[in-house]
Chains A and B, each alone.
Chain A
Amino acid sequence: MRPVRIPVTTERKRSVRRAKYGYFLAFTVPALAVYVLFAALPLLNSMYYSLFDTDGEVARFVGLDNYHYLFTNPTTSERFWNALVNNLEFFAIHLLVEVPVGLLLAALLTSGRLRRSTGLYRTLLFIPTTLSVVIVGFIWRLIINPLWGLVDYPLLGNENTALPTISLMSVWQYVGIPMIFLYAALLAVPHDVLEAARVEGAGGWTTFWRIKFPLIAPQFGLIAILTYIWTFNGFDLVFALNGSAPGPNYSTDILGTLFYRTFFGSSGQLADLDLGATVASVIFLIILVITGAYFGLLHRRLRSYEL
C-alpha cells in the first residue's frame, strides 16, 4: 500500500510564507557578508579614508586636502597625468586591436564553414588567456630580447615603443576574451534569420555586417566597456616587466602601478595609505563616470536592434 499524502493546509502555507524570509536571509547572508566585507565595503571605505590624514595612530579629518595635494603637488600631479595618458593609450590599443581581432576570430569560428575543427581552434586560440600575466610578460620579454637575436631592437628600452609593446603583449594574451564572448553572441543569432538572408542571396560579408553584427551590437558594446574597466585596472603585466616605477622614465606607468606605488611605497617613495586611497578613489570615479555614461546613454540604443 502506498502512503497517503497529507494535503497541505492553509495553516502550513502561511507558516511557509513566513519562513521564506528566514530561509532567504539564512541562505544569502553568508555570501553577502563576505562580498560586502571584502569587496563592496572596501571600495566605499577607500573614499572615506581619502578624506583623512593618518599620523601613526591618529586619523585627522582633512576634507579634500589629499585630492588637492594629489593634483597640485608638482611631482604627484605630473605622475598622475602621465599615468592617466598612458592608461588611455593602453586602453586604446586594446580597443583598436584586441576587440576587432576578437570579433574577426568569432566571425571566422561562426562562419558556418567549419565542422569539427571549431572546438580545436577555439581551444588553441584561448590558451594564452589562461596563462598568468607574469608568465606572458616574461615569455615575450625573452622572445623580443635583443640578446636572443629574434628581434634586434630594444623595444622595451625605448620610451616611445615600450608602452605599445607591453600593450600588444596584453592584447596577445587576452584576445580570447572578446573572441569567446562575441562567439557566444554570434551563436545565439537565430538560424531562420540567417537562412532567410541566404535565400535572398546575401553573401557571407553582407550577412555579417547587415544582419549578424547589428544583432550582437549590445554584446560588442559591453565588451568594449569591460575592456575599458579591465585596462583601467591593469597592473600585473607592467609590474612584472618593469616593477613599481615602470620605466624607461615612467613611460609605461599606468594608474594601477601608480596606485600600488602610492600606498605600498617603492624605492625613493614612502608608502602613504591615505594618498593611496585618494588615488584609488580617483581611478574608481574615472571608471564609474564612463561606465555610467555608457549604460545611461549608449547601451540602450545598441539594444534597440535586439530581436
Chain B
Amino acid sequence: MKTSSERAGTLVVHGLLIVFAVLAIAPILLIVVNSFKTTPAIFEHPFALPTADTFSAAGYERVFQRGHFVANYRNSLVVTVGSTVATLVLATLAAFALTEYKVRFAPLVGGFFVAGIMLPIRLGTVPILKTMISWGLMDTLTALVLVYTAMSLPLAVALLMTYFRSVPHDLKEAARIDGAGELRTLSIVLPIVRPGLAAVASVTMLPIWNDLWFPLILAPSQENQTVTLGVQQFVGQFLNDYPALLGALTLGAVPLVVLFVVFSRQFIQGLSQGIGK
C-alpha cells in the first residue's frame, strides 16, 4: 500500500525524468523528421510531421550525389573495427598477463596502463604527426588504427583486469595440469570474461567513430575521410541547403544511436566500471 505523498513523489520523479528525456531526444527527432520534408515545409512548419504534400527525400539524393557517404562509411567501419579488434586482442593478452603472472614489476606496468586512462593523448599530436610522416603513414587509415588502438588500450586493459581477477584460479590450474600451454589456458578462460570483452568493445568503438581530431590531421584526403570528418566538410559546403544538411546529419547520427540502443547494457557497464577503477 502506498501513501499519497509517496505516490506524489513517484510522480515528480517520473515528471522530471520525462522532461529531461524530451530535452535529450527532441532536437534529434526534429532533425530526422525535417530531413524528410521540402525546404518550404522545413521553414514554415518545423514541428509538423511530413505529409504527402511536404514529403521529400531530395535532400538525401543530393547528399549521395555530392557527398561521399559510402566511402566515408567504409572508412569509418575499417578504422573502428580495426582499432577495436586490435585493442581487444592486445588488451586481453596484457590484462591476462598482468593478473596471472605475479612478477615483481607487474603492478608497475598495470599502473602505467591505468594512468593512461586520464592521459590527454591529443597533446602528443605533433610527435605523432612526425612519426607518421617518417614512416610514410600520413593520410592512411593505418595511422588512425595505430593511434586509436594506443588511445583505447589503457581503459581496455584496466577493465579487462577486473574481469580476469574474477576467474577462478582452479580452472586455470586444471587446464595447465592437463597440459595446456599458456595461450590455450587463456583461451579456456576467455568465455568467462566475455561480458568484459563486450563492455570493452562498446566503450572503445564510440569515441573512435566520433573523433574529428585525428581524421582531420592524419587522414584528411577525400578517399580516407571518416563519416565524422565527411559530415563536417559536407555541412561546411552546403550551409544553405537545409534538406541536404538535415539528411547528412541524420545519416551521420542514426547508425550510432541504433548501435547504442542495441548494446546499451554492455556500454553502460563498461563505462561505469571503467572510470571507477
A interface with B by C-beta (< 8 Å)? 5, 8, 20-21, 23-24, 26-28, 30-32, 34-35, 37-43, 45-46, 49, 101, 104-105, 108-109, 111, 113-114, 117, 119, 121-128, 130-135, 138-140, 142-143, 147-150, 172, 177, 180-181, 183-185, 204, 219, 222-223, 226, 229, 232-233, 235-236, 239-240, 256, 259-260, 263-264, 273, 276-277, 280-281, 283-284, 287, 291
Contacts and interface: CB of A to CB of B under 8 A. Distances in A.
A113 B260 CA distance: 26
A180 B271 contact: yes
A42 B253 contact: no
Q: Interface on chain B toward A: helix, strand, loop, or mixed SS?
A: helix
Contacts of A180: 268, 271-272
A284 B120 contact: yes
Contacts of A127: 24-25, 28, 257, 260-261
A273 B23 CA distance: 42
B93 interface: yes
B167 interface: no
Given A122-B268, A124-B24, A180-B268, A132 B97 contact: no
B146 to A, nearest CB: 5
Most buried by B among A37, A111, A127, A235: A127
B154 A35 contact: yes
Given A34-B149, A134-B231, A143 B126 contact: no
A134 B228 contact: yes
A114 B15 CA distance: 12
A219 B276 CA distance: 7
Nearest to B260: A130
Interface string B125-149: 1111111000000000000001101
Given A138-B245, A259-B123, A283-B123, 18 more contacts: A27-B93, A31-B90, A31-B157, A32-B94, A39-B150, A42-B131, A46-B124, A46-B126, A49-B127, A125-B17, A128-B28, A134-B210, A184-B276, A185-B272, A239-B216, A256-B122, A260-B213, A281-B123
Contacts of A123: 260-261, 264
A236 B249 contact: no
A105 B20 contact: yes
B212 interface: yes
A28 B116 contact: no
Nearest to B213: A235
B232 to A, nearest CB: 5
Contacts of B253: 131-132, 135, 139
Contact of B177 (A5, A135, A148, A183): A5
B160 to A, nearest CB: 10
B199 interface: no
Given A113-B9, A125-B20, A233-B122, A38 B128 contact: yes
Q: Which 8 residue pairs of A and B lie closest in terms of their CB atoms, listed nearest first?
A: A42-B124, A184-B272, A27-B97, A38-B150, A45-B127, A31-B94, A42-B127, A31-B90
A24 B13 CA distance: 51
B127 A46 contact: yes
A232 to B, nearest CB: 7
Contacts of B259: 130
B228 A28 contact: no
Contacts of B46: 148-150
Contacts of A229: 118, 120
Contacts of A235: 122, 212-213
Interface in B95-122: 96-98, 100-103, 106, 109, 112-113, 116, 118-122
B21 to A, nearest CB: 4
Contact of A124 (B25, B30, B130, B149): B25
B4 interface: no
B61 interface: no
A24 B101 contact: yes
A286 to B, nearest CB: 10
B217 A264 contact: yes
Contacts of A43: 119-121, 123-124
A27 B96 contact: yes
B268 A126 contact: yes
A122 B153 CA distance: 27
Contacts of B228: 132, 134-135
Interface in B1-52: 6, 9-10, 13-14, 16-17, 20-21, 23-25, 27-28, 30-31, 42-43, 46
Most buried by A among B128, B147, B273: B128
Contact of B127 (A41, A113, A143): A41
Interface in B211-233: 211-213, 216-217, 227-228, 231-232
B57 interface: no
Nearest to A130: B260
Contacts of A111: 9, 13
A276 B253 CA distance: 32
Contacts of B212: 132-134, 235-236, 239-240
Nearest to B6: A113
A45 B124 CA distance: 7
Given A135-B252, A138-B235, A184-B272, A42 B16 contact: no
A259 B150 CA distance: 21
B242 interface: yes
